[in-house]
Amino acid sequence: MIANILITNRCNLRCFYCYPDSFNRALEDMPLADFKRIIDLVHAKGSRVVVLLGGEPLIRKDIGEFIGYVRAKGMACEVVTNGFFVPQRLDALKNADSVCVSIDGDEEANDKNRGKGSFRKAMEAIELLQASGIHTRIKAVITRNNLRSIDFLARLARERGMVLMAIIPTTYEDRVYPDGVAAQWLSQEEYRAFVIKLIGLKKDGYPIFHSYRALRYCRDWPYPYDEIVTGKRLKNGARAIPCTAWEYGIFIDVDGRFFMSCLKTFDIQGRKILETDFDDWWISQRRFGCTTCALLPNIEKSLVYNMHPGALWNMVRMALWRGGR
């Protein structure tokens, strides 16, 4: 089980696609004492991987204590960052198993998504992390601003010996987005073309994180790409890949509320993990009501959890990849 934990709601950027909607929420940082109790709990329930998120987790000056506690429990720890505070937190990050830097394309495209100056900070962070021997990967959120920057990102990943994860934003029907933001979401045709592009890049030897099986499943998705489906087969006759989000991980918000590991459930009111019966909640998630969707990360994790040979081999290759073909 992967535990994705938001340790702060604070962030120095205002990315319009931010799934926690950090800049519109007034939530205090997660106390270190609560974090330790949560780690003890999820460790006891079988979790061996922790991902530290925000907001921007490196805003916290005590980030080293969070990483250190995870590692002391014998758990793997990844930190996801926009890169701005990497220089100040470099020593702490040396204890992490990996760092994921968010970068959405070349300077023009990235800064349209993430804010002026964010590209240079991300690139500086990548250079510092790799020079310090810290395992580094990159993640991009794809909108119309940066849809044509996939080639740039793939080249950057291959040249620097990193793996690239490229995803589309998760949107929420009950959330009010700033004017013009909706125009940045990909159309159905653009989404399919984006997935086909990733398949082509992977065939050409670029380190695209997702497996062929997951990519082809999303390429052939016969519904709107944000639609959740129930049933064993899709309307095109293909067998559905059953989602196992309730089995492979959880999201824990900065205030301790927790959800199954699916961004589509993030806005659903969760229960406080330290104030509820974890096992009862875990069982209840099986009744969430969805079978499958076209969210690449969900499909990939479900394939791995269900021991799909191609997805497992891809996961091993991507974990070991450091450059070349």
- For 264-276, how does the pLDDT look when each residue is reduced to its tens digit (9 = 90+)? 665 555 678 888 8
Confidence of residue 287 (pLDDT cuts 50, 70, 90): low
DSSP sequence for 65-134: HHHHHHHHTT-EEEEEE-STTHHHHHHHHTTSSEEEEE--SSHHHHHHHH-TTHHHHHHHHHHHHHHTT-
Q: Do the domain assignments include residue 202?
A: yes
**For residues 168-183, average pLDDT:** 69
What pLDDT is attached to residue 227? Answer: 83
> b/e per residue, 182-205, with b = 16+ CB within 10 A?
eebbbeeebbbebbebbbebbeee
Q: Do the domain assignments include residue 167?
A: yes
Number of domains into which the chain is organized: 1
**For residues 140-153, average pLDDT:** 97
Asked if the model's pLDDT at residue 309 lies above 90, the reply is yes
**For residues 75-104, average pLDDT:** 98
Question: Considering the entire predicted model, what is its pTM?
Answer: 0.92
Query: Any idea what the CATH number is for the domain that residue 34 is in?
Result: 3.20.20.70
Residue-wise pLDDT for 251-262, tens only, equals 899 999 887 767
Confidence of residue 325 (pLDDT cuts 50, 70, 90): very low
What pLDDT is attached to residue 260? Answer: 72
**For residues 29-40, average pLDDT:** 97
Between 288 and 145, residue with greater pLDDT: 145
Confidence of residue 305 (pLDDT cuts 50, 70, 90): confident
Range of the domain at 79: 2-320
Residue-wise pLDDT for 220-246, tens only, equals 999 988 888 887 888 888 889 988 876
Q: Do the domain assignments include residue 182?
A: yes
Hey, is 17 helix, strand or coil? coil
**For residues 151-159, average pLDDT:** 98
Confidence of residue 182 (pLDDT cuts 50, 70, 90): confident
What pLDDT is attached to residue 89? Answer: 98
What pLDDT is attached to residue 173? Answer: 56
Q: Do the domain assignments include residue 325?
A: no
Between 57 and 25, residue with greater pLDDT: 57
Comparing 32-46, 83-97, 164-178, the range with the smallest average pLDDT is 164-178
Asked if the model's pLDDT at residue 195 lies above 60, the reply is yes
Contact 31, 8 (CB under 8 A): no
Contact 10, 22 (CB under 8 A): yes
Confidence of residue 162 (pLDDT cuts 50, 70, 90): very high
Asked if the model's pLDDT at residue 110 lies above 60, the reply is yes
Q: Do the domain assignments include residue 300?
A: yes
